[in-house]
Chain A
């Protein structure tokens, strides 16, 4: 069964079926709704296309990676990001819906931060794009606040027992961005190359930045 039909609660669905035209029940239902709303004059189909295009092509975790890479090379920017993330992030051109009020939290050898929304799916869209399915699912939302080490182990992340975990539950309109630690062995790297080490999960707190040895060597110029 395709992941898209995974229910929030995680169990598999018993009764999905396809129509003769190959569309699922839910696809037919959404198509009917779109036709109705266009006919009623509430939505403009070209605007729907533009919204999809924005989140499919323009806004995603590469934005956040550029923010993190800048914070790794520019101490003044890092300070600004940790003090006033909304404005610091906006200075790089990332702002807007679901990122109106940003807070950045810094990982250190002593403290690991992790972000969740136990009540719905709050997520910093301008820097990370739309959330992955697991972030919106009950397994993550239920356990992140009570057993984050167990959740992290499912992401292959193991922290020393002495490392403090700070979990941020996004219960208001504040959106959180984790600033992962800069990997060792990246001295002198360009911002662009550093950004390639910053994963989406490292900015949620369910991963680390990539080990530079995992990247293909940069071609000689």
Chain B
């Protein structure tokens, strides 16, 4: 979706302000918001693409005026309600007012290290051959899906070159909407700054994105 999360190339946000000796967390609530997001995620009631879509579906004004952990918190609250794990009234009151949804048992403290160290691999078996080869000229489709996508607006309709084939990976556009993993070939595609930004582009800049096969078409010579 063309939401507030898709920021590449926007202007007017001002300088990047790095905080010297920045702590990992700035408040206790940030620690808990992160931990709650990961721990509830471990129940397996949704996947990472569903989470990302919940965050980017916030109203653009809400998204841009929230801090990052606030966006996580709001995404988590939204999913808890949408998936029937809690009600808005329970969230407001901070206590259970009805039965819990049957889920997997909660992540145990002793299982945290293993769960984080194992992660969740997103590559899948290669059951078909890749449509594109390294060196192929491709064009990112000019598409504007209403749902989740990982094709940023600034490359749509632009011509680039396949530089690497990563393998076959879970397709977020489907996975975010519970349509299955629908794995596809994933490519690293390199675009020149002139192609992306025209005459204003830095002549010594190339930008690469990782693009699933269905985001791309063959570029005519």
Contacts and interface: CB of A to CB of B under 8 A. Distances in A.
Contacts of B28: 27
Interface in A22-60: 24, 26-27, 29-37, 39-44, 46-52, 54-56, 59-60
Contacts of A99: 119
B35 A51 contact: yes
Contacts of B71: 8
A142 B117 contact: no
Contacts of B86: 36-37, 40
A42 B9 contact: no
A145 B153 CA distance: 12
A158 interface: no
Interface residues of B, number: 100
Interface in B1-43: 5-11, 13-19, 22, 24-36, 38-40, 43
Contacts of A75: none
A194 B67 CA distance: 35
- Chain B contact residues: helix, strand, loop or mixed: mixed
Given A47-B111, A95-B117, A101-B123, A36 B67 contact: no
Nearest to B48: A173
Nearest to A105: B208
Contacts of A141: 7-8
Contacts of B16: 134, 137, 139-140, 143, 151, 154-155
A92 interface: no
Nearest to B11: A142
Contact of B204 (A27, A39, A60, A165): A165
B137 interface: no
Contact of A171 (B14, B68, B211): B211
A36 B40 CA distance: 12
Interface of B: 5-11, 13-19, 22, 24-36, 38-40, 43, 52, 55-56, 63-71, 73, 76-77, 80, 85-86, 90-96, 100, 103, 106-109, 111-113, 115-123, 150-152, 154, 164, 166, 169-170, 172, 186, 188, 193, 196-197, 201-202, 204-212
Interface of A: 2-11, 13, 24, 26-27, 29-37, 39-44, 46-52, 54-56, 59-60, 95-101, 103, 116, 118-121, 129-130, 132-134, 136-149, 151, 154-155, 161-174, 201, 206
